[in-house]
Amino acid sequence: MRIGIVLMNLGGPTHEDNVRIFLKNLFSDEDIIKLGGGITQKAFANIISKFRAPNVAKDYKEINGCPKGCTGSKHCFNRQNKVVSDCCSPINGLTEAQRRGLERYFKNILPDHEVKVYTCMRYWLPFADQVMDDMVEDGITHTVLMPLYPQFSWTTTGSSFRDWENVLQEKFPEGNKPWKEFHVKNYYLNESYLSAINNRIDEALADMDEDTQKKTHFIFSAHGTPLLEVRSGDPYTVEIKETMEAVMARREHKNPYWLSFQSRVGPQKWTQPNTEELVERHLEYGIKNFLMVPIAFVTDHIETLYELGVELVEDMEEEGYEFENYKVMDGLNDHPGYLRALAEEALNCLRHEVPSDSIHWDSADTNIENKKSTRKAVTA
């Protein structure tokens, strides 16, 4: 048995020259922008990507993820050409860190099995066809598709699964793919995942004095969803709310907390309230201490580092508002608790393939506890 775990993520541009291509790929996705595909969809994607690319490139330059050289996958052009980019999305290097961390994790818990972990991006390299070529070369016999989206949405996990299936049909038209395939739909209430979020919240609160901690309002911010998707039965918004409530239940609801949505795209109506508008409303009421919790983002990228970390603060200050304390929680990234959650979900899919007595959780848990002990924890 040779196991392949495929981490599915959004992806991001790696150089200023491919920002427009990345955006074009994004807006061409019918699961996100529903324009019926065909000529209309292509025209819209071409126009909006051309219009938005210059400003988006400036944003990526401000949060450049690889200032000293490529930290992304082996498929990245920057790595292949030994180029240092000043316009690379942090999601590339951070997803690669998740991949490497999870592969090391599996070496601890499954020492008798070979496990390879891959990253498959939806809108930029590496694409599904490249990942499948790697898997064929590595002789993979069992595959788990693992979305880095804990909550299911047809616009994220669904889109990634659909793209994967389309590429499968092209590569193996007779249905003779060389591996058994399993899918993780969601894991928004996985205990290790919830624990990792609370650990990140504790880390953020540890930088505040006790009085500031008590005054701090938690703003859970998730990527918005078109209302059309919600009304059609997309479970994402409900699952986001359940994740937030589960996190706060484990904190005994000791801080005021709110849910908001960001990153609206296109002409449709989206879920409310908007994150920036919610923060502004709080400021108007005299609330000036915030901890932003990017609840649906497990890998830091432009939505967390720029939209929440830079743009929102600048916009509020331009409107004349002042914060006493504003902090954005670090993304889960390669947090050991999150890596455990991914491993748990993958092995749950493989429970009829991998004998339970061959899984050595204790070895990995010891490493997790050693890492946690080096962090300063605080009870909110």
- CA 42 → CA 12, 28, 108, 121, 288, distances in Å? 20, 6, 46, 20, 44
The pLDDT tens digits for 8-39 are: 999 999 999 999 999 999 999 999 888 888 99
| pLDDT for the residue numbered 378 | 40
| pLDDT for the residue numbered 376 | 42
CB atoms within 10 A of CB 301: 24
In the sheet that 325-328 helps form, which strands lie side by side, from edge to edge? 257-262, 217-223, 289-294, 325-328
| pLDDT for the residue numbered 34 | 82
Q: Chain-wide mean pLDDT for the chain?
A: 94
pLDDT at 183 over 70: yes
Residue 17 in any domain: the answer is: no
pLDDT at 369 over 70: no
Q: How far apart are CA 198 and CA 372, in angstroms?
A: 12
The pLDDT tens digits for 95-128 are: 999 999 999 999 999 999 999 999 999 999 999 9
Boundaries of domain holding 267: 191-328
Residue 149 in any domain: the answer is: no
Residue 90 in any domain: the answer is: no
| pLDDT for the residue numbered 208 | 98
Please say whether the beta carbons of 122 and 163 come within 8 A: yes
The pLDDT tens digits for 214-240 are: 999 999 999 999 898 999 999 999 999
Residue 61 in any domain: the answer is: no
pLDDT at 366 over 60: no
| pLDDT for the residue numbered 37 | 87
| pLDDT for the residue numbered 367 | 54
| pLDDT for the residue numbered 226 | 87
Number of structural domains found in the chain: 1
Q: Kindly calculate the radius of gyration of the chain based on its CA atoms and give it in whole angstroms.
A: 21
pLDDT at 54 over 80: yes
In the sheet that 2-9 helps form, which strands lie side by side, from edge to edge? 114-121, 2-9, 142-147, 180-183
Q: How far apart are CA 258 and CA 221, in angstroms?
A: 8
| pLDDT for the residue numbered 269 | 87
| pLDDT for the residue numbered 217 | 98
For 89-143, give the DSSP string: -HHHHHHHHHHHHHHHHHHHH-TTSEEEEEEEESSSSSPHHHHHHHHHHTT--EE
Mean pLDDT of 299-308: 98
pLDDT at 380 over 50: no
Residue 163 in any domain: the answer is: no
Q: How far apart are CA 155 and CA 229, in angstroms?
A: 9
Please say whether the beta carbons of 192 and 231 come within 8 A: no
The pLDDT tens digits for 306-347 are: 999 999 999 999 999 999 999 999 999 999 999 999 999 999
Mapping DSSP to helix (H, G, I), strand (E, B) and coil, where does residue 183 land? strand
Residue 266 — very low, low, confident or very high, per pLDDT cuts 50/70/90?
low
Residue 379 — very low, low, confident or very high, per pLDDT cuts 50/70/90?
very low
Residue 323 in any domain: the answer is: yes
Please say whether the beta carbons of 71 and 1 come within 8 A: no
Residue 373 — very low, low, confident or very high, per pLDDT cuts 50/70/90?
very low
pLDDT at 146 over 90: yes
CATH number at residue 236: 3.40.50.1400
Residue 266 in any domain: the answer is: yes
Q: How far apart are CA 204 and CA 110, in angstroms?
A: 33
Residue 85 in any domain: the answer is: no
